[in-house]
Amino acid sequence: RKRIGILTSGGDCGGLNAVTRAVVHRARHYNMDVFGIRDSTLGLMSRPVDAELLDLKRISGILRYGGTILGTTNKGNPFAFPMPDGSLLDRSHEITNGYHELELDALIGIGGDGSLAILSKLAQQGNWNLVAVPKTIDNDLGATESSIGFITAVEVATEALDRLNYTAASHSRVMILEVMGRDAGHIAISAGIAGGADAILIPEIPYSMDKLCHRIEDRAKRGRNHSLVVVAEAVKTETGEPVKFINSLGQSLYGGIGQYIADRISVCTGAETRVTTLGHLQRGGKPSPMDRLIGTAFGVRVVDLIAEERFDRMVAWQQRQVVDVPIADAIAQYRAVEVDGTLVKTALGVGAYIGEVEN
Ligand code: F6P
């Protein structure tokens, strides 16, 4: 019997358990054993290796769960692993040893571009077999139209706008919603359109504070004394400075630009503003049907790739089909929001302010 490992790496998101469940089901078809590895590559570094045989009982019901039953981490790059004394150690060989200790024939890595780059380097260096599944709420992997977790995040952000609209209208306020997206504005533009935002600020398009304020004032003149503004976390100040929230320990964490935009709007329009930083609510909770569907399709196909011995490949969603592409190509293809694409045109078409672009 072939033995395959599966791990989730990087931030959690909706749909990860759908992949795990589908992998276990599909592996039964090929008489393969599936080992769930704990906390990404940390499980392969542990001695004994921290992994469990996944059977049908273990995956029962998990399709509906948020998070990942395997655990995950976005800390601890094995090529520069932070040690207790503050030094960085190359522990990559421990992962390869862990792979062999489990006697694996292949490993399924579920991750975003950063995790997949590390896994791919590990597999090449250790000469073992890797196949990959894309996941990131940021949806910035160019090879796939949708990465696991993105659609769930858009749903959460859209629902947040639906809720904020009531408070905006009741209190005559400008409500600002800051959404995730480490580098790209995909969640912001999709949720902004679906949730009827009056302004959508994304890192791909520069904005003018004056124009944004005029737009809000124009609405007020027309009797619309409330507005909804969506801001992607990667948006910078008008002059291009990054804004970061620094906590009392001096750590720079997610969030901050929403408050900057709110303060500027208050000053230039006199409107009352409030900020909601949606944060990790976008990652957890019940996965959307589409993330479950795509996750399940990915899980089935990725096991087929192992059965066909087609390694170093990542499954991808293109035109309602699962295809597969070389992992190296997938990592190289970053996708930003297309400035002259359909979504920007759509936002403009319904009168949203989306920054300094031709309408
Ligand atoms: O990449 C996914 C993501 O949720 C980004 O949108 C966000 O910038 C980041 O991870 C947050 O990471 P953490 O959970 O480590 O705060």
pLDDT digits (tens, 9 = 90+) for 304-339: 999 999 999 999 999 999 999 999 999 999 999 999
12 pLDDT more than 80: yes
Q: Which atom of ligand 1 is nearest to the CA of 138?
A: 6
pLDDT score for 55: 98
**Percent of the chain whose predicted confidence (pLDDT) is above 70:** 100
76 pLDDT more than 90: no
pLDDT level of residue 243 (50, 70, 90 thresholds): confident
pLDDT score for 267: 97
Quick check: ipTM above 0.95?
Answer: yes
Cβ of 181 below 6 Å from ligand 1: yes
pLDDT level of residue 95 (50, 70, 90 thresholds): very high
Interval 113-134 mean pLDDT: 97
Task: Give me the chain's average pLDDT, please.
Answer: 96
pLDDT level of residue 161 (50, 70, 90 thresholds): very high
- Picking from 173, 91, 168, 174, the residue whose alpha carbon sits closest to that of residue 125 is 91
More reliable by pLDDT, 239 or 150: 150
281 pLDDT more than 90: yes
Interval 153-167 mean pLDDT: 98
Cβ of 136 below 6 Å from ligand 1: yes
CA distances from 7 to 11, 106, 134, 242 (A): 12, 11, 12, 33
> 60-69, 132-141, 251-260: which range is least confident on average?
251-260
Interval 151-167 mean pLDDT: 98
pLDDT score for 75: 85
pLDDT level of residue 251 (50, 70, 90 thresholds): confident
**Percent of the chain whose predicted confidence (pLDDT) is above 90:** 92
Cβ of 234 below 6 Å from ligand 1: no
CA gap 132, 107 in Å, rounded = 8
Q: What is the pTM of this model?
A: 0.96
CA gap 82, 88 in Å, rounded = 5
pLDDT score for 317: 98
Active-site positions? 138
Cβ of 182 below 6 Å from ligand 1: yes
Cβ of 259 below 6 Å from ligand 1: no
253 pLDDT more than 90: no
Q: Tens digit of pLDDT for each residue in 205-238?
A: 999 999 999 999 999 999 899 999 999 999 999 9
Phi-psi bin for 319: left (phi > 0), alpha (psi -120 to 50), beta?
left
Reported as type and span, the H/E element at residue 322 is strand 321-326
pLDDT level of residue 260 (50, 70, 90 thresholds): very high
Identify residue 59 by its one-letter amino acid code. Answer: I
pLDDT score for 110: 98
How remote is the CA of residue 270 from the centroid of ligand 1, in Å? 33
**Taking a C-beta distance cutoff of 8 angstroms, is the pair 333, 142 a contact?**
yes
247 pLDDT more than 90: no
pLDDT score for 27: 98
CA gap 291, 289 in Å, rounded = 6
174 pLDDT more than 80: yes
How remote is the CA of residue 246 from the centroid of ligand 1, in Å? 15
How remote is the CA of residue 275 from the centroid of ligand 1, in Å? 19
Best residue among 138, 154, 252, 335 to mutate for probing ligand 1's pocket (most ligand atoms within 8 Å of CB) is 138
